[in-house]
Amino acid sequence: MSEPITTQRILEHVQRLGEQHPPLALASVDREVHDPAAVAARYGHVIDYLARVELEVDRNVLELLVLLPDVSEVDRMFYADVWQPQEIQHGLILDRLQQDLGRPAATPELEVSAKMKVMGALAHFSAIQDIARLLYYLTGASTERQAVLAYNIIHDGMTGLGETAIAETIIAPIRRQEPGHFAFYRMSATQLVQSGALRPWQLYLARVLRERTYNLVGVNGHDRYRAQMGGVVTALGFDADLDRYAREVGRIEAQLLWAHERGMAFPPYVLAALRESIDLYRERGFD
Ligand SMILES: [Fe+2]
Ligand SMILES: [Fe+2]
């Protein structure tokens, strides 16, 4: 394995993100849209989905506080100083774009689920909290990767449509902030596993829980969102090579959680979740 990742390195990463990436201001956006109907026809549902997910950051922070009652200082700095302030602006900017396209405002879910509260009660046991931390990092790595991939395609698509203002003053600045989030979760998960702090039974339980609870970004256990995510995956063309997409999204956990399964490019549950989403989308459509 390469050089171990230290807490100090993660801390420096978080500080750098805070300094180099201030939250985006709504006023920085050029709201010119040449052909709102064309943009809405191609990306309306995708923007709706992303706006909702970005706006749900406030619920994600509450869940985090429930799941990690003894949150570390570096984790706290990341979500409080970097992640939440950046994501909420992504949400507000995309939500306004939706409305500029003539679509209704996003309706984010801001209630912490009962399931999450049960996990939170268990997380007061430190052995369980370490498992919850690993799952939190892996979820973060997987969802941030999905965000990066989505914004890449949308940026090119908007440019192709001649919607330069959207591409350059909305999508490009948002896209620049996502890889730093991904790197934080990747480094944190790697450090936790490499440190040897998790006993074999904890890793085993983490695998079982991950397998049973894996969700694509923004799905949160709801079939309605699962179908919508299938629509997003389809609209962005990822359905043309699902293995490749699963590899991109599941690589970190394949390496950290399933290292004993030699040569696993991505965990099977990632591909299964993608297939299920797309099937549901074909059945039910976006709504
Ligand atoms: Fe974001
Ligand atoms: Fe992000």
Write out the two tokens for 49.
């989905």
Cα 248 to ligand 2 centroid, rounded to whole Å: 16
Write out the two tokens for 90.
């992504």
Helices (H), the chain: 7-20, 36-55, 57-67, 73-77, 84-100, 114-122, 126-160, 164-166, 172-194, 200-213, 223-235, 242-257, 268-284
Token pair 């010119």 is found at 32
- Dist CA 9 CA 186 (whole Å): 12
Q: Name which of 282, 151, 172 is nearest 229 in CA terms.
A: 282
Instruction: Name the band, by pLDDT with cuts 50, 70 and 90, for residue 24.
Output: very high
Cα 60 to ligand 1 centroid, rounded to whole Å: 12
Of the segments 64-68, 80-84, 261-265, which one has the largest average pLDDT value? 80-84
Cα 263 to ligand 1 centroid, rounded to whole Å: 31
Q: What is the mean pLDDT of the chain?
A: 95
Domains defined along the chain, listed by start? 7-217 (1.20.1260)
Distance of CA 166 to the CA centre of its chain: 21
Cα 57 to ligand 2 centroid, rounded to whole Å: 9
Instruction: Tell me: pLDDT of 262 over 90.
Output: no
Token pair 């990822």 is found at 238
Token pair 């490009």 is found at 172
Instruction: Name the band, by pLDDT with cuts 50, 70 and 90, for residue 119.
Output: confident
Burial class (CB in 10 A: 0-12, 13-18, 19+), 205: middle
**Entry pTM:** 0.96
- Dist CA 110 CA 52 (whole Å): 10
Cα 178 to ligand 1 centroid, rounded to whole Å: 6
Mean pLDDT computed over 206-235: 96
Q: Name which of 122, 120, 118, 58 is nearest 86 in CA terms.
A: 58
Residues 6+ apart with CB under 8 A from 106: 48, 51, 52, 55, 91, 94, 95, 98
Instruction: Tell me: pLDDT of 113 over 90.
Output: no
Q: Is 37 helix (H, G, I), strand (E, B) or coil?
A: helix
Comparison of pLDDT for 122 and 20, the residue scoring more: 20
Cα 197 to ligand 1 centroid, rounded to whole Å: 30
HSE-CB of 86 using CA atoms within 13 angstroms: 23
Question: Per residue in 8-17, pLDDT tens?
Answer: 999 999 999 9
Ligand approaching nearest to the C-alpha of 56:
1
Mean pLDDT computed over 63-81: 93
Instruction: Tell me: pLDDT of 1 over 60.
Output: no
Instruction: Tell me: pLDDT of 160 over 70.
Output: yes
Residue 199 near residue 247 (C-beta atoms within 8 A): no
Instruction: Tell me: pLDDT of 253 over 70.
Output: yes
Ligand approaching nearest to the C-alpha of 144:
2
Cα 181 to ligand 2 centroid, rounded to whole Å: 5
Residues lining ion ligand 2 (Cβ < 5 A) are 144, 178, 181
What is the model's pLDDT at position 137? 97
What is the model's pLDDT at position 184? 98
Ligand approaching nearest to the C-alpha of 53:
1
What is the model's pLDDT at position 135? 95
Mean pLDDT computed over 41-48: 97
Cα 53 to ligand 2 centroid, rounded to whole Å: 10
Cα 128 to ligand 1 centroid, rounded to whole Å: 28
Cα 141 to ligand 1 centroid, rounded to whole Å: 13
Instruction: Tell me: pLDDT of 5 over 90.
Output: yes
